[in-house]
Amino acid sequence: MKNMKKIVALAMAAAMTATLAACGSSSGSSSSSASSSAPAAESTAAAETTQTNVDPAVEASTDATATTESTAADAQTPDLSSDKYVGDGVWTVGTNATFPPFEYIDDNGQPTGFDVALVQEIGKRLGLKVEVQDMEFDALVASIGSKIDAAAAGMTVTDERKKTVDFSEAYYDATQAVLVKKGSSIKTQDDLKNAKVGVQLGTTGAGIADDLHGEGSDKTITYNSYNDVVQDLINGKTDAVIMDQVPAEAYQSQSGDQLEVLPGTQFNFDTEEYAIALPKGDTELLDAVNGAIDAMKADGTFDSLVDKWINNYSAE
């Protein structure tokens, strides 16, 4: 009998150890008891909302404009309280919200979209309060480490940008496309060379226009907002826009029947990949962000965000 008790006790101890180990995992599904052992900074951040065991489908419908907080006592949680970051325990993420469905301004004037939902979910898993800051796309990379802690802006990984920032693992395959007025005669790269092309300043699409026309050419018209880029195409001030395919389709559907998206393959455009831009050399933050993305991919949350924000996007 004595032995029996001992075995039961051992088994219970083993079960408890397993439970504790599960609490410390990065899966984001740890029980709320984990919060009691969270460091002071995290407990403060956790004061308002407690997120535990949230169903991915429910999570995906969380208001993307709200700030997100979490109790995840995660060994991987980067410490944002140091003065190298913008705000204490706040992860400030820059974007340019003229890029539906990845980021755009909702009816309440707040940035929303896939990238916003993505960084809020990452923040939730890392126990960070997320603040999304809307700014000019061209200013994002240079602002990382001073005005913002990261950029989530459908940003393509490029060697040039890698000189200034580190990128998370890629989260979306993309390509540039050509947006034209319906019935346009533009069909080939040669046609584009002779056309007035609108682009957003600082984008890979602007880089392609520079390659076609030569840098500083008056055939390339640059803008800070894609709303203006597309407006001038509709007005006839430009003949074509070089921009990312999925946002081009979003603008096309917003325009009623006025615009047409021509695939990048028609113009020999390369494929691209989107990733989150992070301060250079901050491996603690990089590893934590990648860990959160991996966990989201493994548990289905990532796919549900893609479904909700990208596959089911419909222009207002």
Residues lying near ligand ARG in the complex (CB under 6 A) are found at 95-96, 98-99, 103, 137, 153-156, 200, 203-204, 226, 244
Q: Closer to ligand ARG at the Cβ: 99 or 313?
A: 99
- Strand 129-134 to 90-95 pairing: parallel
User: CB of residue 200 vs ligand ARG: minimum separation in angstroms?
Assistant: 6
Residue with tokens 């996007």: 313
Give the gyration radius of the chain's Cα atoms.
Answer: 23
Query: Which C-beta is closer to ligand ARG: that of 38 or that of 209?
Result: 209
Question: What does the DSSP assignment read for 107-158?
Answer: TTS-EESHHHHHHHHHHHHHT-EEEEEE--HHHHHHHBTTTBSEE-SSPBP-
> With contact defined as beta carbons under 8 Å apart, do 280 and 145 qualify?
yes
Closer residue to ligand ARG (CB): 211 or 287: 211
End-to-end CA distance of the chain: 71
Q: Rank residues 174 and 286 by Cβ distance to ligand ARG and give the closer one.
A: 174
Question: Which of residues 263 and 300 has its CB atom nearest to ligand ARG in the complex?
Answer: 263
Angstrom CA distances, 80 to 45, 133, 169, stand at 11, 17, 20
CB of 103 to ligand ARG, least distance (A): 5
Question: From the CB of 44, what's the least distance to ligand ARG, in Å?
Answer: 32
Rounded to the nearest whole angstrom, what is the least distance from the CB of residue 208 to ligand ARG in the complex?
Answer: 10
Residue 134: beta bridge partners?
Answer: 95
Q: Which of 166, 42, 57 is nearest to 117 (CA)?
A: 57
Write down the least CB distance from residue 181 to ligand ARG, Å: 21
